[in-house]
Amino acid sequence: MSTPRVKKIQTILGTQPDGIWGPKSQKALNAEIGRTAGQGNPTLAKIQKLLGVKADGFWGPVSQQALNDELDGDGSATIGSGGTGFKAEASSFADPADVKAFEKCKATGKTDQSCFKVGDNGIGQFGKITAQTHTPMVALHKDDMIAKWGSVNAAAHRVVNVTINGKTIQAAVEDRLGVAGRIDLNPAAAQQLGLNPPFLVKNCIWSWA
């Protein structure tokens, strides 16, 4: 089953308009998000208009949720459910010290892959700036993404609930980490939860929103 709206979105993105949202469609959306500049992305604005949200060309949680609702209602994606959540350690990433460590490593001539072991460049795998304090974002292990959505790309920009010390926030999945059983929180998420980077908190519960 497919919907005309999904086909129109795929046409805007330049992918096959078959109405089935797969890795190619998600990759095309991620590319547009990565190309977003200060004035917004006109391609994203067209998609937002179709979805009935503010067509400002900036892809955020509201736009992603509207797309999720369209896909979930069509049956072309797994319907998300918060459930009881997953116990995990929560650590900080993309904070000033993390970014500084990455830049210091790069200055020695090492590769990005090597420097990711000691810091972070502040840009998520799906193209968004994670090193900021205005939009809560998280990084998850690939196994968690694949188990729920079938692929890493399909989990991009999905929303999760994160609870620490009795306080719950919502944040978007914008990066991937290499440690299973952990969730990384960007500066905005940490700030909303009252945490000061760097940190490693063991009493965290997270779930798909």
- Which domains, from first to last, does the chain contain? 4-74 (no CATH), 86-208 (2.40.40.10)
- Asked if 12 and 21 touch (Cβ cutoff 8 Å), the reply is no
In the chain, what percentage of residues exceed pLDDT 70? 93
**Cross-strand pairs, 182:** 89
Phi-psi region of 85 (alpha: psi -120 to 50; beta: other; left: phi over 0): left
Q: Which amino acid would we find at residue 176?
A: R
* Predicted pLDDT of residue 73: 58
Q: Give the pLDDT confidence score for residue 3 in this predicted structure.
A: 74
Instruction: Tell which residue, 129, 127, 63, has the closest CA to residue 93.
Output: 129
* Alpha helix segments (H runs only) across the chain: 4-13, 23-34, 42-51, 61-74, 96-106, 112-115, 142-149, 152-155, 187-192
- pLDDT tens for 48-92 read 999 999 999 999 888 988 888 887 654 333 323 333 578 899 999
**Rounded to 5, what percent of the chain is helix, strand, coil?**
40, 20, 40
Rounded to a whole number of angstroms, the CA Rg of the chain reads 17
CA distance 150 to 146: 4
